[in-house]
Amino acid sequence: MHLVEAWVRRHATPCRVIRAFVRTMKYVFGVRFEVKGLKNFQIDGPCVIISNHQSILDMMGLMEILPDRCVQIAKRELIFAGSVGLITYLGGVIYINRKRTRDAKSVMAGVAQAMIDDNLKVWVYPEGTRNNSGDLLPFKKGAFHLALQAKVPIVPVVYSSFTSFYDSKKSLFTGGKIKVEILPKIDISGVKEEDISDLTERCFHEMRQVYFRLSGKPYTPIKQSTSSQ
């Protein structure tokens, strides 16, 4: 068995202790979550879940809505991020070394096979890094290649902006409400390899519109290409 497949299967059910701990922390930080669209997680079979990523606060929100038999994919550097790295490691996050393309592709291949064999859902942050700028970063294509390889639908999840109560650069944190919306699944049965860029663009713009709506901010369209490798 591929080592990645073994890791995915071992961590398919998140550690209950970690989930309980992270969910408790929302009371310590004074964070409230308003969730909409949970019914869209009711999918028979595996899927790729994509969401925007702003800070460790995402982890609290994720534990509010994380479906059963779901694993996460994140950049390898996160494992060295102190307590955050420890939590993600114990929670079964699969780390991708983005600087070594061959290794990343091998990991994704193992994840895709495990998804099919064991009916798993995989959570990916297509921005590729934490971003609390007040907008979305261009999406990388890895999550969309994974969905195509496994032949599974994509479910977008959008968190509202944290900027009104959280600013890491200014050491500002006052607590507040975070809106989370799970969007309907995107069927990719007719998508081919050459369509990946268009699919990435489509998801980016749809999620960006929802992000601005949830954040109560005016939406400004972006016309130029926003996807990256």
The CATH superfamily label for domain 3-215 reads: Glycerol-3-phosphate (1)-acyltransferase (3.40.1130.10)
Res. 41: pLDDT tops 80: yes
Please report the pLDDT score of residue 4 as a whole number: 47
Residue 19: CB atoms within 10 A of its CB come to: 16
pLDDT in tens, 135-179: 999 999 999 999 999 999 999 999 998 877 766 665 556 677 889
CB 171 within 8 A of CB 144: no
Angle between helices 101-118 and 142-150 (to 10 degrees): 40
CB 177 within 8 A of CB 216: no
Res. 1: pLDDT tops 50: no
pLDDT in tens, 65-117: 888 888 877 666 666 666 655 555 555 567 666 555 565 567 777 788 888 88
The label of the residue with tokens 């994720």 reads 62
* Strand 172-173 relative to strand 70-75, pairing: unpaired
| Domain spans of the chain, in order of start | 3-215
Type of residue found at 64: E
pLDDT in tens, 185-210: 999 999 999 999 999 999 999 999 99
